[in-house]
Structure 1
Amino acid sequence: MDPDPPLYDSLDGQVALVTGTSRGIGAAVAARLADLGATVYAGARDTADVTGEGWRAVRLDVTEGAEIEAAVERIESETGRLDILVNNAGVAPPNVPLHESSIGDVDRTLAVNLRGPILLTGRALPLLLEGPGGRVVNVSSGDGAFEDVQEGYSGVGGQGYPAYRISKTGLNGLTAYLDGEYADDGLVANAVCPGSVRTDMGSDDAPRSPAEGAETPVWLSRFGPGAPGGRFWRDRAPIPW
């Protein structure tokens, strides 16, 4: 793998859609992409929670098909392009073993963390494929890796968060699918583990700030045409799936 992928120094003229921007990693990613010059559509369930200066707030609950359609249609009508999609929105259910998990918690976790990115990416693909090197960045987790499955959030004895773990494994699968299906058309799709971050889903004791957790997702968003795709990254280096 090329250890020095082609990167855009500036994102002037490019358009990005970031989900889950009301706080945490999503807000940090949106802020940095805007700093780099991108027109940033900041997705949130309540647009009043989008506070970034210059961002274009867009109502986007990724569990709602109508809101997905409306968001992409708005971007297409206003800009005619989409260069970067960052699937960041996510939830974590209570930390209980699978046999104690409620149907509602399982359904919501899979709907936000996996079904939403599948549907949103599918709807956004025609725009992403119009220009060279459209990027999809899926904010995943080491919890979704097969080779290091007990890493990250864990309960007593290394168990816990079953629906969350499974949803992130599926998100990694979406990444691999997008690379296999669309790389020849110019799409650059990657997944990223941001590490342990001080967010609502994380812990107050986590070692990384949201800005630090956003560093690799932003770096992947800067990949140019021909950059590596279909990989799982942490700290700008590929890690096992």
Structure 2
Amino acid sequence: MTTSDEHDPTPELYDSLDGQVALVTGANRGIGAETARRLRDLGATVYAGSRSMDNETPDGTERVLIDVTQEGDVEAAVDGIFEEVGRLDILVNNAGIIGPENDIVAAPTKEIDRTLAVNLRGPMLLCKHAVPLLLQHEGGRVVNVSSGMGALGEGQSGGSPAYRVSKTGLNGLTVYLDGEYGDDGLVANSVCPGWVRTDMGGESASKSVEKGAETPVWLARFEPGAPSGRFWRNKRVIDW
């Protein structure tokens, strides 16, 4: 890896993901579907997670049932991947919800709990069950789809308390994974895709889904020894 400065590292990237296996959660729409589609086009075998088997996932991917709030779903999905192909190289924790948009005083507790369960507990469960597979080959990658709304330095006013705190916690998970497993070869990073025209971002968002998926897919292409334990936006490191 060559580095021009700490906010603009230049990692070595896989040009092809032939022979590699990826699991993308929330892959039935938006950034998740586009990420799954692009990893497929790069040659990976892609398991496209969705919380309902009735949801459509990109052609050429393997649809897999994962409600990330249900540990049984998570464990069954990871075990199924191991039984079918014997490896996992990339985990993209993309599934997420916005949760209650009012301030914490007015936010219903039930909605706070669900947002934290999907956005933070879910990725932790995925890592709990998937990390052993990711460590079987040097350079297994975890890409946590986070948000600038969870960045401590970008201000936290404007509502959506559970979403903001869940994404701050997701960034903490990234740092933990790097600290705990980085010496074993795991490459874990967070990414802010920006304000994207998805069901969550709305039609007024400034980025297309295709642009929003660019950096997550780029991170999924990192070779062993690439930067890890960092927060990225537009392929540049940003502050936590």
Tell whether the structures are fold-level matches, with TM greater than 0.5.
Answer: yes
1:138 and 2:137 correspond = no
- For 1:4-62, what per-residue CA distance to the aligned partner results, in whole angstroms no more than 9, with x for missing partners? 20100000000000000110000000000000000000000112213311100000000
Q: CA RMSD in A?
A: 0.9
Structure 2, unmatched stretches of 5+, are 4-8
Provide the residue aligned with 2:6 in structure 1: none
Q: Between the two proteins, what is the percent identity of the paired residues? A: 64
Structure 1, unmatched stretches of 5+, are 151-157
Relative to the length of structure 2, the TM-score reads 0.96
Shift in Å at residue 125 of structure 1? Answer: 0.6
Shift in Å at residue 69 of structure 1? Answer: 0.7
Moved over 3 A (4+): none
1:159 and 2:158 correspond = yes
Quick one: distance in 1 between partners of 2:198 and 2:206? Answer: 11
Query: Superposed, which structure 2 residues align to 1:1-241 within 5 Å?
Result: 2=3, 3-150=9-156, 158-241=157-240
**2:215 maps to amino acid:** T
- For 1:144-188, what per-residue CA distance to the aligned partner results, in whole angstroms no more than 9, with x for missing partners? 1111134xxxxxxx4210000000000000000000000000000
8 Å CA contact 1:142, 1:149 repeated in 2: no
How many residues are paired up? 234
**2:41 maps to amino acid:** D
Quick one: distance in 2 between partners of 1:184 and 1:29? Answer: 27
8 Å CA contact 1:94, 1:161 repeated in 2: yes
Shift in Å at residue 207 of structure 1? Answer: 1.0
Quick one: distance in 2 between partners of 1:220 and 1:230? Answer: 12
**1:80 maps to amino acid:** G
8 Å CA contact 1:113, 1:171 repeated in 2: yes
